[in-house]
Structure 1
Amino acid sequence: MPLFNTPRPQWLTFDCYGTLIQWDEGLLAAVERILRSKGSVDIDPARLISVYDSHEHALEQTPPHRSFRTVAGESLRLALDELGLRSSPDDISVLTDGIGAMPPFPEVVESLRRLKTAGFNLCIVSNTDDDIIASNVAQLDGLIDRVITAQQAGVYKPARGLFDHAHAQLGVSKDDVVHICASPHLDHAAARDVGFRCVWIDRGTGRQLLPDYTPDATLSKLDQVAPLFNELGWL
């Protein structure tokens, strides 16, 4: 659905990690720390991240539903095993404890403030647990009205169930929402299937669009959302 000549949304929903919070940078730092602890300086951290991601995405879609902390721990163990490294209980703590310490991108707080001041309600919809994301939300200056997680919904993106749950909890239809996200793999499939409006924040990480979906707008940073909305007559 194009954004022009569509109603001003009541709610703006956001993916958290990679959109608001510096996920790639924080994950790399955690993985480098884990590899240093094992003396594995010859293993490329990007390789471990790639293997970890593949296990994480697979486990998230494999019943029964498990907490993100459990999924992340098992994914990390499987990835380390695949690369010939012994895992330890400390590894998952390094990873999950580090998530809460990941900071927002530099422009995020002021961008959210501008949107909040303009009268939009702001909600995060994220593939995580409530306790993990709480520290990240605390860094956003009280600007977020609702946080809806995979833990609450019992389902992970890219399944549409997390968004269906979010819309039900917010008491809105898909036409009352614009979703803003950085992850084509996790969010665009649901936008395609549900039909809600979607703005892609392409931060130049190399993530590729789905072959059968084009977002309604593509921006490089969050501070470009307000100018776009102004052009649309929503500010």
Structure 2
Amino acid sequence: MLSGPKPEWLTFDCYGTLIQWDEGLLAAVDAILANHPGSNVEPQTLIRVYDKYEHALEAERPHRSFRSVAGEGLRLAMQELKLACSPNDVEVLTGTISRMPPFPEVVSALGLLKAQGFKLCIISNTDDDIIAGNVAQLGGHIDRVITAQQAGAYKPARQIFDFAHNALGVGRGDIVHICASPHLDLAAARDLGFQCIWIDRGTGRKPLPDYAPDAVFPTLDRVPPFLASTVWN
């Protein structure tokens, strides 16, 4: 359960929490593989190998843009799977991200949270220009967007969350973070000690064995009534 005073800000992971990342990534990979007729690589295999390289590249220093990370991650994944990666393949991937839509309940849920008096901020592992297309689909409810590009670091690194909290002018105890990613956002909540609501959309991603979020819901529309019923100190 949540505790403390009512927070001024709610922060959100974007992709997978607000935006249909898995569905959009699968569509992008299907389109990429369609450009390689004769390949017997399954879309989920390419996604799995791509994820491996993406997360490894995000942890490297110096920081590089997500557009660069995504392109290099795709190239390395396709190389491992014996596929030639073209600039068009990279553009299919990076160009698809901005057009990925929100989950059906998200815009109305964000509106309800705004009506409850919360300010809403996204903290996302992406670039400003990529996420702009996604934020434009969120009904004008988002007050602030903080990206890995601005912070010079990717989740779950402490740096991006410290950057966000400083930018918002709040302490870790003064926000509630809402996310769908166990190994990025929940790991940071465990290590940094901020309150966190996990949106478990049934993707098969497992919670961390040594951390329990403050609340778990299957969809975002369960969050407004939960917060409305929370007794703040």
Q: TM-score, normalised by structure 1?
A: 0.97
SS in 2 for 1:35: helix
**Match for residue 195 of structure 1?**
193
Structure 2: runs of 5+ lacking an equivalent: none
**Match for residue 63 of structure 1?**
61
> Which whole-Å CA distance do the structure 1 matches of 2:55 and 2:79 have between them?
17
SS in 1 for 2:10: strand
**Match for residue 214 of structure 1?**
212
Aligned residue identity for 2:117: G
**Match for residue 22 of structure 2?**
24
> Which whole-Å CA distance do the structure 2 matches of 1:210 and 1:228 have between them?
23
Aligned pair partner of 2:184 in 186, 201, 215: 186
> Which whole-Å CA distance do the structure 2 matches of 1:141 and 1:220 have between them?
21
**Match for residue 224 of structure 1?**
222
**Match for residue 87 of structure 1?**
85
**Match for residue 46 of structure 2?**
48
Aligned residue identity for 1:215: P
Aligned residue identity for 1:135: G
Structure 1: runs of 5+ lacking an equivalent: none
1:111-137 deviation digits (Å, cap 9, x = unpaired):
000000111000000000000000000
Aligned residue identity for 1:142: G
Runs (4+) of structure 1 moved beyond 6 Å? none
> Which whole-Å CA distance do the structure 2 matches of 1:140 and 1:40 have between them?
39
> Which whole-Å CA distance do the structure 1 matches of 2:154 and 2:220 have between them?
24
SS in 2 for 1:122: strand
**Match for residue 168 of structure 2?**
170
> Which whole-Å CA distance do the structure 2 matches of 1:6 and 1:224 have between them?
21
1:204-233 deviation digits (Å, cap 9, x = unpaired):
000011121111100000000011112214
1:171-217 deviation digits (Å, cap 9, x = unpaired):
00011100000000110111011111000000000001112111110
SS in 1 for 2:98: helix
**Match for residue 104 of structure 2?**
106
> How many angstroms does 1:41 deviate by?
5.0
**Match for residue 138 of structure 1?**
136
Contact 2:116/2:228, CA 8 A, preserved across alignment: no
**Match for residue 7 of structure 1?**
5
Residues paired across the two proteins, number: 232
Change beyond 3 A, Cα 1:181–1:46: same
1:77-100 deviation digits (Å, cap 9, x = unpaired):
000000000110011110011001
> Which whole-Å CA distance do the structure 2 matches of 1:94 and 1:233 have between them?
47
**Match for residue 33 of structure 1?**
31
> How many angstroms does 1:40 deviate by?
4.3
> Which whole-Å CA distance do the structure 2 matches of 1:25 and 1:225 have between them?
22
